């Protein structure tokens, strides 16, 4: 039940993040383009995960609350668009919470459906980041997760820890809470201190 | 039966539209590239819809008439390539008919499979436009539907009206014919009078 | 059993090919980006094929050897990155072997699941090349298969021959071996002699 609400909250903020990204290309996108980019950002990761798992029906096709969240988020973006830029730090926080939730939800759902732990970690990552990959590809940019500060790395760390904790019979709710927190904390620290994985093949490969 | 033939006609013209789009990048694409772009444009929207619905088998994998339509359309493009540019207005008309048909077919199929009406409208839109999104993304351009004249908007209007008419127990064939016509008329008027949704965040937001 | 091992070998070399492609954009991608690009290149084609077929579970979600192959290949790329460029010719050979294997495996799996031969040929092609399409799209480039030397053409030739041989009751293992060899040989000859399909609409349309 908590997960259900957290999911809707994640959808809400992913929609705003996608809408704002499209809005940055302001000489190009009309209202529909901004809405549709927000929509795809919000449902992209979970939809791809469910299609790979063959887990039908896909959640937003059976639960209309997900679409209502997206519409509310888009209305919110329209109304507060002049102020929302100042909220970027707040948005970052909630986006990070969303990524944390989606990673663990994705791992959990995959394990329930009998996927091996290695693959479950990857599907958790896909759930969390692929909405953003679709968003960036549609905006004709190289996806941010390929270059940004510790992002996918934080998800993978949390997902691996989660599967490890379940392996040692730690209760799922506790494991989930711990691992979501860890993903969020790693991400906040990485952004605050501008930590990043070394560029592949760059001269200074000492950070890793 | 009418729908079945309309579907094949839609496939035929979507293939030509995709092939012509690839042909515009004439210093890059070889014959296969042009054919494959046409193919993906034609089957992209319906395939993604069916994959999201878990509606197997996907139509072009079980009905070879769809592939035959695509091959005929590609042959048609090759033979008439010098004259077809002059047919752009004709093509626009048939493309629009295709988009109208696909929107309503997509909504109908989704509702039959128990999807909620909100989601069915989105899947109708996906059926109609995602072939074009794939085409533009592969050609390394920002998808046209994000910026063009009233396009997705026309589909959404027709799809919403269709679900509303079904809700009020209007016979499906009649509702479908009415709504397809409305999508097509909106689209023609929009292009003729250069109507467009306002750009998001642009100065003149008075049209909406 | 032979196919199973060939599949893992194909995965191994596709991962290296994807990693190296991402590495070429060396000022952009971090270690994760390079790994993830390799991963998507390796599993992309087969995953899309299985999603289109509704063939669940998708192989890398049920067989962890596939992920192990990818991780080993990435480690191999890291360790030998300074020397691997000199191996490009070797890599081309194995990539070509992979493409040959994937084409025939894709056709075979599709036919087993009751797909018509036309569509099976296309799914064989999708299996073989879509990992590369995803790779190039994510790297913000027009997919190579749309322009390169005889590539998709070789796959299609092999796939058509394979379905034809099966139609004439030739034993599957023999047909597979012959057709894989033909794909590989066509590809090697095409690259060696710089054969290419004519550009669509280019002046010199005499080669075809």
Tens-place pLDDT, residues B45-71: 999 999 999 999 898 998 889 999 999
Residue of B19, B26, B30, B36 for testing the chain C interface, max C β-carbons within 10 Å: B30
CA B54/CA C54 separation, integer angstroms: 7
Residues of A within 8 A of C82 (CB-CB) are: none
Contacts of B169 (CB under 8 A, 6+ apart): none
Write C18-23 long-range contacts (CB < 8 A, 24+): C18/C42, C18/C131, C18/C135, C19/C73, C19/C74, C19/C77, C20/C77, C20/C84, C20/C85, C20/C91, C21/C135, C21/C136, C21/C139, C22/A146, C22/A200, C22/C135, C22/C139, C23/A200, C23/A201, C23/C77, C23/C81
> Closest approach of chain B CAs to the CA of C66, in angstroms?
24
pLDDT, average across residues C178-196: 86
| Residue C55 in contact with partner chain B when CB distance is under 8 A | no
Do residue C56 and residue A54 have CB atoms under 8 angstroms apart? Answer: yes
pLDDT given at position A86: 61
What is the structure's pLDDT at A90?
64
Residue C199 pairs in a beta bridge with B30
Contact B202 A31 (CB under 8 A): no
Chain B residues inside the 8 Å CB shell of A60: 119
Return the top range by mean pLDDT from A18-22, A41-45, B91-95, B151-155: A41-45
Listed by start position, the domains of chain C span 2-192
Give me the pLDDT at residue A53, please. Answer: 94
A47 token code pair = 């939809």
Alpha-carbon distance B160 to nearest alpha carbon in chain C (angstroms): 28
| pLDDT tens string B100-124 | 888 999 999 999 898 989 899 999 9
C195 touches chain B (CB under 8 A): no
Cα–Cα distance, A142 to C140 (Å, whole number)? 6
Residue in chain A lying closest to C57 (CA)? A53
Contact B159, B107 (CB under 8 A): yes
- Partner C, chain A 73-102, Cβ-Cβ below 8 Å: none
* Whether the predicted pLDDT of A144 surpasses 80: no
Q: Which of B26-40, C106-120, C192-206 has the highest mean pLDDT?
A: C106-120
The token pair at B143 is 């998808």
- C110 → chain B, closest CA residue: B61
Nearest CA in chain C to B68: C118
Cα angle A43, B53, A49; round to 5: 40
Q: Tell me what pLDDT residue B198 has.
A: 67
Q: Which residues contact B80 (CB under 8 A, 6 or more apart)?
A: B87
Neighbouring CB atoms inside 10 A of C62's CB total 13
Out of A28, A51, A60, closest to residue B51 by CB: A51
Q: C-alpha angle C118/C5/C46, rounded to 5°?
A: 40
Interface size B-C, in CB pairs within 8 Å, comes to 87
From residue B128, give the alpha-carbon distance in Å to each of A95, B7, B53, B96, B177. Answer: 31, 11, 15, 10, 16
Question: Is residue A69 over pLDDT 90?
Answer: yes
pLDDT above 80: residue C119: yes
- Residue B143 and residue B137 in contact, taking contact as beta carbons nearer than 8 Å: yes
Q: Chain B within 8 Å of C123 (Cβ-Cβ)? A: yes
Using a CB-CB cut-off of 8 Å, the residues of chain B touching C200 are 22-23, 26, 29-31, 33-34
- pTM of the entire predicted model: 0.84
Which DSSP symbol is given to C197?
Answer: P
Contacting residues of B for C202, CB less than 8 Å apart: 26-27
Q: Where are the beta strands (DSSP E) in B17-70?
A: none
Residue B207 has pLDDT above 60, yes or no: no
Reply yes or no on whether the pLDDT at A197 is more than 90: no
Return d(Cα C63, Cα C70) in angstroms, integer: 12
| Predicted ipTM > 0.90 | no
Residues 6+ apart with CB under 8 A from B173: none
Alpha-carbon distance C179 to C185, whole Å? 10
Contact between A67 and B118 under an 8 Å Cβ cutoff? The reply is yes
User: Using CB atoms, which residue from C52, C118, C146 is nearest to B67?
Assistant: C118
Share of chain B above pLDDT 70, in %: 81
With contact defined as 3+ CB pairs under 8 Å, the chains touching A are: B, C
Q: A147: pLDDT confidence band, cut at 50, 70 and 90?
A: low
When scoring A28, A30, A85 by the number of chain B Cβ atoms within 10 A, the one with the most, hence best to mutate, is A30
Q: Which residue of C has its CA nearest to B58?
A: C52
Check pLDDT > 80 for residue A148.
no
Contact criterion met (CB below 8 Å) for A140 and A162: no
pLDDT at B206: 33
Give the whole-angstrom CA distance, residue B139 versus residue B135: 6
Chains in contact with B, where contact requires at least 3 CB pairs less than 8 Å apart: A, C
**Residue C30: helix, strand or coil by DSSP?**
strand
**Chain C closest CA to A202's CA: distance in Å?**
7
Where on the phi/psi map is residue A194: left (φ > 0), alpha (ψ -120 to 50), or beta? left
The minimal CB distance from C146 to the residues B27, B28, B56 is found for B28
With beta carbons less than 8 A apart as the criterion, state whether B69 and B5 touch.
Answer: no
- Verify whether the Cβ–Cβ distance C116 to B62 is below 8 Å: yes
C118 chain-B contacts, CB cut-off 8 A: 64, 67-68
**b/e per residue, A35-48, with b = 16+ CB within 10 A?**
bbbbbbbbbbbbbb
Q: How many residues are present in chain C?
A: 208
Tell me the range of B94-98, B178-182, C96-100 where mean pLDDT is highest: B178-182
The count of other CB atoms within 10 Å of the CB of residue B205 is 12
Which comes out higher in pLDDT, residue A163 or C191? Answer: A163
- Give the distance from residue A33's alpha carbon to the nearest chain B alpha carbon, in angstroms: 4
Quick check: C63 and A55 in contact, CB under 8 A? no
* Residue B6 to residue B22: CA distance in whole angstroms: 24
């Amino acid at each position: 039940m908590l997960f259900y609400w957290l999911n809707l909250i994640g959808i809400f903020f992913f929609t705003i993040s996608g809408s704002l990204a499209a809005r940055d290309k302001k000489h190009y996108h009309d209202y529909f383009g901004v809405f549709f980019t927000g929509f795809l950002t919000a449902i992209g990761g979970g939809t791809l995960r469910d299609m790979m798992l063959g887990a039908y029906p896909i959640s937003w096709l059976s639960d209309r609350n997900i679409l209502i969240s997206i519409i509310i988020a888009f209305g919110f973006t329209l109304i507060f668009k002049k102020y929302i830029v100042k909220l970027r730090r707040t948005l970052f926080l909630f986006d990070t919470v969303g990524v944390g939730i989606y990673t663990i939800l994705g791992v959990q759902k995959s394990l329930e459906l009998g996927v091996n732990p290695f693959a479950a970690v990857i599907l958790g990552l896909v759930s969390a980041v692929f909405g953003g990959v679709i968003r960036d590809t549609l905006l004709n940019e190289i996806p941010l997760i390929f270059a940004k500060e510790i992002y996918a790395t934080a998800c993978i760390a949390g997902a691996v820890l989660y599967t490890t904790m379940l392996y040692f019979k730690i209760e799922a709710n506790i494991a989930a809470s711990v691992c979501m927190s860890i993903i969020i904390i790693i991400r906040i620290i990485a952004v605050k201190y501008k930590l990043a994985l070394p560029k592949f093949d760059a001269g200074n490969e000492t950070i890793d």
